[in-house]
Amino acid sequence: MSKRLIIIGAGISGLTSGVYCRRSGIDTTIFERAGNPGGVSTSWKRKGYTFEGGIHWLIGSIPSNPLNDIWTETGALNADTHIFYKDPVYSLMENGRPVLDIFRDSGELRKAFIKAAPEDRFRIHLLCFHLWCFKSFHPPILDLPGLKVKGKHPFRIMEFVRMLPAVLLTPFLMMISAGAYCRRFRNRELRELMTSVIHPSQNALSLIYTLANFCYGDSGYPSGGSRIMAQKMADTFTRLGGNIFYGKTVERIAYENGKVRGVYVDGSLVEADAVIISQDARKAIDKLFDEPLQDKWARTMRKTLETEQCIFIALGVKARLGAYPDSMVFSLEKPFEAGGARFPIIRINNYSFEKDYAPEGGTVLTCLLSNPTWEFWKQAKDNGCYAQSKKELLERFITLVETLIPETRNAVEVTDIATPLTYERYCDTHHGSWMTMWRPWSFTSVAPIRYKRIKGLYFTGQRTSFSGGLPVAATSGRNTAQAVCKDLKQVFISK
């Protein structure tokens, strides 16, 4: 009789586990509380405009990055997927024009930076050296010892040798924040452009890893965006014979005598031999068990976890903006205030390159204001002024965009705004977050792939690592699937 597995959540990690487990012959069912797959990696339509609220860059979009194997094996990417590579990746704007760019080619980037900031020549060379060190760095994709695997991931010693420079540099980059790394540049424009790449509180390792992926040709945008990519993964899963039930929230895990029995959905027990939790583990430890978990890692996570949160704003504009760069960085005279936080630098994404994202003659503009603002919005909700606060923020944002990009004046047709409360409502993530904030030398605890106290219970997803994003969702999804296969004595079939 085939073994039964239940996965809680059809986000990217849950779908990754689902595809591998189903392909390996396990009877797999996914329960997803939302109406569609993808979790926080999502995009949606409003009155003819498509708003991308998830993928901005996909690490592993090039075949030479081993992560690409996971994206192709799970159906996220296939031969028909067109990948768009922004170049320049980011452009610092002044008076409506780009004045400094981050180019995809590291040589071009070096030239452009030295030209704009000769006073930082030495630091620019050092930056380029750091990027070179991370050129071949990627999360290792390994097969679990003792597991029978059909289609083993090749273990190439050179792959690890090429990662050595990055490994040696890692302790140094983990010691400082991305913001501090950027502040070392004397040139104001260079500082501002660099600061816009990731949240300045993350460690510099995350900054260099992100930039290196851009500058060495990876991190494209799969055409059609997050919704299409997640749907392709879900289709792969169902084609293999897996079941997904949308609009179904798992209320609780069922377990007895240290062994999992299944989950409760709509008050009824659905039995299974194994259960994977892909819901944000920070929420799951408090909600999915008879009593909140009190393991040491769970207590540490409660105390120390810091999260990446954002306010997402999207505008559908009746204007052609193809002459503007794809990602515009603006350093503002007066910081923009949103959700109780101040944003001296904002980045506006211009989706002119996606012709189908807007009706003829229109363009989508989006902006992520990343900062922990959950408390602010929660208070606004409790005080009954949530809708009004969002409306007021949107109006101020439109006014700001109209001054920065004059073509948008009186041309905004459709708007949308998501706060951390929105993400929390749809995906039930802790404070509406979508990954862990990895500060310098800070290590929160992570959820274990196998939960030792309950046999047959596993975690996957963003909280199984210090940092996050789609690479963690993919690798943890695969690792968890391998642990399940090993415990259920199934051969792991990768493709």
| Positions that interact with ligand FAD (CB under 6 A) | 8-14, 31-34, 39-41, 53-57, 59, 249-250, 278-280, 310, 312, 368, 427-429, 434-435, 461-462, 468-470, 473
Q: Which is nearer to ligand FAD, 331 or 467 (CB)?
A: 467
Give how far the C-alpha of residue 38 lies from the chain's centroid of Cα atoms, to the nearest Å: 11
Give me 40's structure tokens. Answer: 């926080």
Q: What contacts 176, CB < 8 A, 6 or more positions away?
A: 203, 204, 440
Q: Which is nearer to ligand FAD, 368 or 493 (CB)?
A: 368
Q: Which is nearer to ligand FAD, 23 or 282 (CB)?
A: 282
Closest approach of ligand FAD to the CB of residue 95, in Å? 29
User: Do 153 and 475 contact (CB within 8 A), yes or no?
Assistant: no
Q: Which is nearer to ligand FAD, 13 or 74 (CB)?
A: 13
Residue linked to tokens 């189908």: 356
Q: Which is nearer to ligand FAD, 10 or 317 (CB)?
A: 10
Closest approach of ligand FAD to the CB of residue 233, in Å? 11
Closest approach of ligand FAD to the CB of residue 275, in Å? 11
User: Do 214 and 104 contact (CB within 8 A), yes or no?
Assistant: yes
Q: What contacts 96, CB < 8 A, 6 or more positions away?
A: 404, 405, 406
Closest approach of ligand FAD to the CB of residue 115, in Å? 29
Closest approach of ligand FAD to the CB of residue 477, in Å? 7
Complete DSSP assignment for 174-206: HHSBHHHHHHT--SHHHHHHHHTSS-TTSBHHH
Q: What CA–CA distance (Å, rounded) separates 57 from 237?
A: 24
Closest approach of ligand FAD to the CB of residue 248, in Å? 6
Q: What CA–CA distance (Å, rounded) separates 260 from 295?
A: 17
Closest approach of ligand FAD to the CB of residue 250, in Å? 4
Q: At residue 136, what is the residue type?
A: S
User: Do 14 and 409 contact (CB within 8 A), yes or no?
Assistant: no
Closest approach of ligand FAD to the CB of residue 30, in Å? 8
Q: Which is nearer to ligand FAD, 17 or 187 (CB)?
A: 17
Q: Which is nearer to ligand FAD, 204 or 250 (CB)?
A: 250
Q: What CA–CA distance (Å, rounded) separates 21 from 484?
A: 8
Closest approach of ligand FAD to the CB of residue 126, in Å? 26
Q: What CA–CA distance (Å, rounded) separates 233 from 303?
A: 35
Q: Which is nearer to ligand FAD, 19 or 319 (CB)?
A: 19
Closest approach of ligand FAD to the CB of residue 51, in Å? 10
Q: Which is nearer to ligand FAD, 54 or 325 (CB)?
A: 54
Q: Which is nearer to ligand FAD, 101 or 424 (CB)?
A: 424
Q: What CA–CA distance (Å, rounded) separates 44 from 288?
A: 29
Number of other CB atoms surrounding residue 121 within 10 Å: 12
Complete DSSP assignment for 141-176: --PPTT--EESPPP--HHHHHHHHHHHHHHHHHHHS
Total residues found in the chain within this entry: 495
Closest approach of ligand FAD to the CB of residue 278, in Å? 5
Kind and range of the H or E run holding 390: helix 386-404
**Nearest Cα to Cα of residue 426 among 18, 31, 7, 35:** 35
Q: Which is nearer to ligand FAD, 102 or 368 (CB)?
A: 368
Q: What CA–CA distance (Å, rounded) separates 85 from 87?
A: 6
